[in-house]
Structure 1
Amino acid sequence: MTTLRMAAVAAPFDRDLEGDFARIEKLIGEAKAEGVRLLALPEAALGGYLANLDGGAEGPPALAADGPEIGRLAALAGDLVVTAGYCELADGRRYNSAVCVTGDGVLGHHRKVHQPLAENASYGAGRGFAAFDTPVGRLGMMICYDKAFPESARALALDGAEVVVCMSAWPGSRTNAAPDLAQDRWKRRFDLFDRARALENQIVWVSANQSGTFGDLRFVAGAKIVDPGGEVVADTGVAEGMAIAEFDVQAALATARRSMGHLADRRPDAYPVSVP
Structure 2
Amino acid sequence: MSEIGISVAAAEFGRDMEQSYATIAALIDQARARGSDLLVLPEACLGGYLPSLGGGDESEAARERRLRALPPALALDGPELRRVVDLAGDLVVTLGFCEADGPTRYNAAVTLHGDGILGSYRKVHQPLGENLCYDAGDRYAAFDTPIGRMGMQICYDKAFPEAARALALDGAEIVTSLSAWPTARTAQAAALADDRWTQRFDIYDRARATENQVVWVASNQAGTFGSLRFVCSAKIVGPGGEILATTGTDPGLASARLDVRAELDAIRGGGMYNLRDRRPEVYGDVVAPNLVTGTQLSREQRPASLRGAGVPAHA
* Cα deviation code 1:65-106 (max 9, x no counterpart): 110001001110000000000000102111000011101100
- Which of 221, 227, 242 matches 2:238? 227
- Which of 207, 223, 227 matches 1:196? 207
Q: How does 1:1-276 map to 2 (within 5 A)?
A: 2-55=2-55, 56=63, 57=66, 58-258=69-269, 259-273=271-285, 275-276=288-289
Please say which of residues 50-59 and 23-32 is displaced more in the overlay. Answer: 50-59
Distance 1:116 1:147 in 2: 12
Give the AA of the match of 1:85. Answer: G
**Runs of 4+ in structure 1 over 6 Å off:** none
Give the AA of the match of 2:34. Answer: E
Distance 1:183 1:235 in 2: 16
Distance 2:239 2:151 in 1: 15
SS of the residue corresponding to residue 245 of structure 1 reads strand
Shift of 1:215: 0.3
Distance 2:282 2:157 in 1: 24
Shift of 1:272: 1.4
* Cα deviation code 1:141-174 (max 9, x no counterpart): 0000011000100000000000000000000001
Matched-pair identity in % = 59
Distance 1:68 1:177 in 2: 40
SS of the residue corresponding to residue 252 of structure 1 reads helix
SS of the residue corresponding to residue 177 of structure 1 reads coil
Measured on the aligned residues, the alpha-carbon RMSD in Å equals 0.9
* Cα deviation code 1:214-238 (max 9, x no counterpart): 0000000000000000011101011
Distance 2:268 2:30 in 1: 33
Unpaired stretches in structure 1, ≥5 consecutive residues: none
Shift of 1:275: 2.3
Distance 1:43 1:216 in 2: 17
Distance 1:173 1:3 in 2: 38
Shift of 1:2: 1.2
Distance 2:152 2:283 in 1: 25
Please say which of residues 266-275 and 170-179 is displaced more in the overlay. Answer: 266-275
Give the AA of the match of 1:78. Answer: G
Alignment length, in residue pairs? 276
TM-score (ref. length: structure 2): 0.86
Give the AA of the match of 1:132. Answer: F
SS of the residue corresponding to residue 13 of structure 1 reads coil
